[in-house]
Structure 1
Amino acid sequence: MMSAYDIAAGAVTYVVPYVAVLAIVIFIHEMGHFLVARWCGIRVLTFSMGFGPEIAHFHDRKGTRWRLAAIPLGGYVKFYGDENAASAPDRERLAAMPEQERSVSFYGQSVGKRAAVVAAGPVANFLLAIVIFTASFWIYGRPASEARVDQVVAGSAAEAAGFQPDDVILRIDGSSIGSFADMQRIVRISPERAMRFDVRRGEQEVSLTASPKRQEVQDSFGQTLRIGVLGISRKPETEIPHRDYSLGEAVAGAVGETWFVVDRTMSYIGGIFTGRESADQLSGPIRIAQVSGQAAQLGFEVLFELTAVISISIGLLNLFPIPLLDGGHLLFYAVEAIRGRPLSERAQEVGFRIGIAMVLSLMLFATWNDIVHLAT
């Protein structure tokens, strides 16, 4: 039986880092919506961190209600003329509004302004990730050991491709490789995919084609992952070379790192639909809390970068063309721009209902994955 001390320690270890990470990511996302709405002259009624019962609130000088709610699983910005927190329009109220009030309502704006407000949330998430990665590159630098092959594992994909000891991997599918770690992470996300490796062998440069084998491993957080394994290793280094970054190099590296996470995530999602990947790797709030706690134990740098990855994931998720999410709103606005008029109330209502069902189903599925992973 767990003692009160164990429960308190568990809360500090897992809940506090989870809430902190999620609060930062959600706040930046909603702040993106909020700032662009203000710039467009839209009246903002509510800025909410969390859902459910209100814990605390205050009003700013422009009348916006800033609230902190009990359930820290999201947030929302409600605009003048919205029927609810999902920014569904209150059409009866809009029709009866005088022009002065309509001009400061969300649905009184042009389709371009509405799209800009909606897109600002995910864009803010990507910008947050770039800022975090920039700070991490600039402050901590990166390992810089070259991608040299010290040993080729017998029966591996590397042996089949013709790798030899002392080969140095320069490029993978045309992308430059700056370190052994760069090579590893590209290979890990490319199981059973044929890739071209440009390697330096003595004074020559040769090209090899290899398809990393799929293998199940446990990461440092105890999560089972299916990754690509090439089958090469290097000797342990007594001192790993380290590279420091100037601010400009850190920004460039951060943009590349953000794009890498986006590309990796989209590749995984595409793999689910094509049958190459299993959906059991999708994580919900329980596993995110677990990983956040473990990342906090490994150090601030790890938790810092995990925040960036989660921010990118939330930005991408919100861009999916699912009604209720930002991407669904953008889809409706694209149709409106093409047709010259919005979809009918009935079509939008059906779309929002479908969106709610899809989002709830995804949350339940991800939570079920979390429970299964905890049980195994």
Structure 2
Amino acid sequence: MSEFFGSVWWLIVSLGVLVTFHEFGHYWVARRCGVKVLRFSIGFGKALWTRRGRDGVEYVIAAIPLGGYVKMLDEREGEVPPADIPRAFNRQSVWKRIAIVAAGPIANLMLCVGLFWAMFVIGRPDFAPVVGQATGLAASAGLSHGDTVLAVDDRATPTWSEAQLALIPAALDHRDIALKIRPYGRTDEVVRTLRLSKLPEHFDERRAVEVTGLTPRHALMPTVVGRVAPDTPAWGVLAEGDRITAIDGEPIESFDDIRPAVQKLGQRGGSAMVEVQRNGDRLAFELAPARMRAADGSYYWGLGLASTAPAEPSKDAVLRYGPVAAIPAAFRETAHQASELVAMIGRAFSGRVSVQNTVAGPITIARAANAYAQHGAAWYLSMLALLSLSLGILNLLPIPILDGGHLLYYLIELVKGSPVSERVMAAGQYIGLALIAGLMGLAFYNDIVNNLVR
């Protein structure tokens, strides 16, 4: 399946699941509160499939899969037969109306817990939280190659993704954090303080982990020789497939380490031993770098080596719990991610992070859904859980036409003892439509800039 069709498919599946659960929350509670439901629609626009149930509800799947709705009997939307007036939504007590409206976001929160539980039980394959390279602030904090990150602040990090997700908000807030580390080759644990308060005031938020100076082990380019240029120092000495392990006694962890090591050797003058692994054997060759000319006309010291095409590294860690242990873990993860999402919304409104990197449109969601699905069921479930959580929390924002806006009206009604006037509600509808239209426009703009322009 091509990336385009795969993205479209997984977008439809994801939104279908999330919207169905959200609307079912409204539907289920409305029925339990004695409200007559007229229509349960997944999607907007022209109906693609319609069926009327024995309960009289019209079930619809519509053409535009970007939402859905539950239509209930309401005197404000048309004439209601006298026998059905007690079943009209507007005739219910304020507490029943609050329960019906809040049921949609709550259903998404419950779905989030269930999806995280399933993810933990299946087990999400990942990379071990091992440092490949430490520079800048990470090096100043005392981190080095081979260190294992056990926890960031008080959050355990059994995988690199967990460490990364804990590092990002701290970097965005320029907040110093404590890292619990198991140093390379040791069994004890030490605490290092990463001084993120020293980060530049403005940096590319998409590189929040990279600017800390931490590079994970799995991101390092392997030190395997892909090509040897003719008439260079390495020609006839090193061969394709050789894995370089050291130059002049200095360990080489990444192909990116080779050039500075050779530069240093060239500036010093003379030759040095280049250690390699070839077909399981450890070999050493004496080589002296030569002065070479780059494509831009500058000169550098080199051996004439090129790297292999980077391969997808193998996952070497799994985030997994047993079925029972996964229950509290799912609740903890939902609570943690909810707090992080609320904090990110606060950063966006305060201007501390760019809305270009926080408001995603359907193109971004579709591509992410497809990418996560390609990594396996557990990864897709984790993404779907975060989307469900986002949908639930965003719907609780006090914006008219969203669930949170209706809840705000009902809270005002509880305080003043009477419903909000229709004039105020109409004004709120216009404001809400303008805000939602603005958010949708921003989301589509971000989609174009982030996916089509860059």
Give the secondary-structure state (helix, strand or coil) at the position aligned to 1:248: coil
- The answer to whether the Cα contact below 8 Å between 1:285 and 1:367 also exists between their aligned partners in 2 is yes
Deviation per CA, 1:104-144, whole angstroms, max 9, x where unpaired?
Answer: 11111111111111111111111112111111110125658
Deviation per CA, 1:182-203, whole angstroms, max 9, x where unpaired?
Answer: 2222102322522330535775
Give the secondary-structure state (helix, strand or coil) at the position aligned to 1:191: helix
Give the match for residue 249 of structure 1: 325
Give the secondary-structure state (helix, strand or coil) at the position aligned to 2:171: coil
Give the match for residue 323 of structure 1: 400
- The answer to whether the Cα contact below 8 Å between 2:134 and 2:213 also exists between their aligned partners in 1 is yes
Give the match for residue 221 of structure 1: none
1: CA distance, partners of 2:427 / 2:314: 62
Read off the aligned partner of 1:371 and give its amino acid letter: I
Give the match for residue 152 of structure 1: 134
TM-aligned CA deviation for residue 337 of structure 1? 0.8
Give the secondary-structure state (helix, strand or coil) at the position aligned to 2:59: strand
Deviation per CA, 1:279-326, whole angstroms, max 9, x where unpaired?
Answer: 112111222223223333333333332222211111111111000000
2: CA distance, partners of 1:278 / 1:102: 49
Give the match for residue 343 of structure 2: 267
Read off the aligned partner of 1:101 and give its amino acid letter: D
Structure with bigger gyration radius: 2
Give the match for residue 79 of structure 1: 72
> Does residue 38 of structure 1 match 2:31?
yes
Query: Structure 1 residues 243, 309: CA separation in 2 closer, same or farther (over 3 Å shift)?
Result: closer
Give the match for residue 182 of structure 1: 162
Q: Which moved further from structure 2: 344-353 or 205-214?
A: 205-214
TM-aligned CA deviation for residue 51 of structure 1? 0.8
Give the secondary-structure state (helix, strand or coil) at the position aligned to 1:356: helix
Query: Structure 1 residues 177, 304: CA separation in 2 closer, same or farther (over 3 Å shift)?
Result: closer
Q: Which moved further from structure 2: 243-252 or 128-137?
A: 243-252
2: CA distance, partners of 1:206 / 1:226: 24
Q: Please give the TM-score of this superposition, normalised by the length of structure 1.
A: 0.83
> Does residue 172 of structure 1 match 2:152?
yes
2: CA distance, partners of 1:21 / 1:239: 26
Give the match for residue 348 of structure 1: 425
Query: Pick from 75, 93, 100: which aligns with 1:110?
Result: 93
Give the secondary-structure state (helix, strand or coil) at the position aligned to 2:412: helix
Matches within 5 A, 1:203-282: 205-206=190-191, 208-211=193-196, 213=199, 216=204, 225-229=206-210, 230-233=212-215, 235-236=217-218, 240-242=316-318, 244-281=320-357, 282=359
Read off the aligned partner of 1:114 and give its amino acid letter: R
> Does residue 131 of structure 1 match 2:114?
yes
Query: Structure 1 residues 174, 304: CA separation in 2 closer, same or farther (over 3 Å shift)?
Result: closer
Give the match for residue 61 of structure 1: 54
Read off the aligned partner of 2:447 and give its amino acid letter: D
1: CA distance, partners of 2:374 / 2:155: 33
TM-aligned CA deviation for residue 239 of structure 1? 7.3
Read off the aligned partner of 1:299 and give its amino acid letter: G
Query: Structure 1 residues 291, 140: CA separation in 2 closer, same or farther (over 3 Å shift)?
Result: same
- The answer to whether the Cα contact below 8 Å between 2:34 and 2:87 also exists between their aligned partners in 1 is yes
| Greater share of helix | 1
TM-aligned CA deviation for residue 162 of structure 1? 4.5
Q: Which moved further from structure 2: 135-144 or 324-333?
A: 135-144
Give the match for residue 191 of structure 1: 171
- The answer to whether the Cα contact below 8 Å between 2:74 and 2:90 also exists between their aligned partners in 1 is yes
Query: Structure 1 residues 165, 102: CA separation in 2 closer, same or farther (over 3 Å shift)?
Result: same
2: CA distance, partners of 1:168 / 1:11: 38
2: CA distance, partners of 1:315 / 1:328: 13
Give the match for residue 85 of structure 1: none
Read off the aligned partner of 2:53 and give its amino acid letter: D
Query: Structure 1 residues 19, 198: CA separation in 2 closer, same or farther (over 3 Å shift)?
Result: closer
- The answer to whether the Cα contact below 8 Å between 2:19 and 2:67 also exists between their aligned partners in 1 is yes
TM-aligned CA deviation for residue 164 of structure 1? 5.8
The aligned length equals 349
1: CA distance, partners of 2:430 / 2:180: 53
- The answer to whether the Cα contact below 8 Å between 2:396 and 2:403 also exists between their aligned partners in 1 is yes
> Any stretches of 5+ residues in structure 1 without a counterpart?
1-7, 83-88, 218-224
Task: Name the Cα RMSD after superposition.
Answer: 2.8
TM-aligned CA deviation for residue 12 of structure 1? 2.9
2: CA distance, partners of 1:351 / 1:80: 22
Query: Pick from 295, 314, 328: which aligns with 2:391?
Result: 314
Query: Structure 1 residues 363, 151: CA separation in 2 closer, same or farther (over 3 Å shift)?
Result: closer
- The answer to whether the Cα contact below 8 Å between 2:19 and 2:42 also exists between their aligned partners in 1 is yes
- The answer to whether the Cα contact below 8 Å between 1:143 and 1:243 also exists between their aligned partners in 2 is yes
Query: Structure 1 residues 20, 239: CA separation in 2 closer, same or farther (over 3 Å shift)?
Result: closer
Give the match for residue 51 of structure 1: 44
Read off the aligned partner of 1:250 and give its amino acid letter: A
Read off the aligned partner of 1:356 and give its amino acid letter: L
Percent identity, aligned pairs only, is 34
- The answer to whether the Cα contact below 8 Å between 1:167 and 1:199 also exists between their aligned partners in 2 is no
Give the secondary-structure state (helix, strand or coil) at the position aligned to 2:87: coil
Matches within 5 A, 1:297-312: 297-312=374-389
Give the secondary-structure state (helix, strand or coil) at the position aligned to 1:277: coil
> Any stretches of 5+ residues in structure 2 without a counterpart?
219-312
- The answer to whether the Cα contact below 8 Å between 1:141 and 1:245 also exists between their aligned partners in 2 is no
